[in-house]
Structure 1
Amino acid sequence: MPSAGRAPHRLGGVLRIDQATYDGIVEHAKRDHPVEACGMVAGPIGSDRPVRLIEMVNAAGSPTFYEYDSTDLLRLYREMDDRDEEPVVIYHSHTATEAYPSVTDINLAAEPGAHYVLVSTTEHGNNPGPVEFRSYRIIDGVVTEEEVIVVDNESTSTEETG
């Protein structure tokens, strides 16, 4: 639930994500805790299907901010271009706050077609236990939360960059 002083968000849209990709994002967030984890899930252009999990390194090494290494990011975008892919999901974790986009997250959201996934590891850190996993569309500074549906029938692969 949004706290006072934050722009309201409305529920709309759906992120359909397979169990293996969901689990991979959560495992990455837990493994990197207390540093924010970050990465993307690429999919075929225009499909809105997240199929290839790409874990990135948080170049900032920060528990409150994430930043992609510019060389890794350029390499990733060239690779996605060569594979006719686009970023379907852009994810990162929050290690000390809820899974809601910060002002910085909103200002840096540059992919209007992407689902922005936030995973909060606040409650259990890198220990066993549930996380808060939420998805948003962020377009022109407007945050819209969307439903997350985890499905079993999609195929994925995991790659690490960096």
Structure 2
Amino acid sequence: MLTITQALHDQIVAHARADHPDEACGVVAGPAGSGRAERFIPMFNAARSPTFYEFDSADLFKLYRDMDDRDEEPVIIYHSHTATEAYPSRTDITYANEPGAHYVLVSTADTDGAGPFQFRSYRIVEGEVSEEDVEIV
């Protein structure tokens, strides 16, 4: 189960809304080994696409270096889908390389960026997708 604060939930949704019609993407980091999502880190979608997201390699390198310096890890890796439901695509599954992370998808499809939005979380390990409950506290 993913437990997330209302404030972090709202920040992820706001980022998805702001970047619509392109996909938004980012990370929520937390203390290594804790599983606690604490620090919201919106990223730039280098693909600038409504159907695909890609972290800029230089930004991603800086992010991981910063998390390492803070003894953090990615607890949530999120992105939005602008034309489909909040379910991982084949590409999403292929690129999922953090087995300990929660993969959050927000769908802005059929909302014109106004909401309501689907907000769903998954574990993706070795190509296997498992949806999990989300508890907002």
TM norm. shorter chain > 0.5: yes
Residue 144 of structure 1 is matched in structure 2 by 130
Is 1:29 the equivalent of 2:21?
no
Residue 122 of structure 1 is matched in structure 2 by 109
Q: Distance in 1 between matches of 2:112 and 2:66?
A: 32
Is 1:49 the equivalent of 2:36?
yes
Matches within 5 A, 1:35-114: 35-114=22-101
Larger radius of gyration: 1
State the secondary structure of the residue aligned to 1:81. Answer: helix
Query: Greater RCO between the two (CA within 8 Å, min separation 6)?
Result: 1
Q: CA deviation at 1:125?
A: 2.5
Percent of pairs with identical residues: 68
Q: Deviations over 1:94-115 (max 9, x none)?
A: 0000000000000000000000
Moved over 4 A (4+): none
Structure 2 unaligned segments of length 5 or more: list them: none
Q: TM-score, normalised by structure 1?
A: 0.84
Q: Deviations over 1:96-143 (max 9, x none)?
A: 00000000000000000000000000021222x310000000000000
Q: TM-score, normalised by structure 2?
A: 0.99
- Note the aligned Cα RMSD (angstroms): 0.5
Structure 1 unaligned segments of length 5 or more: list them: 1-13, 152-162
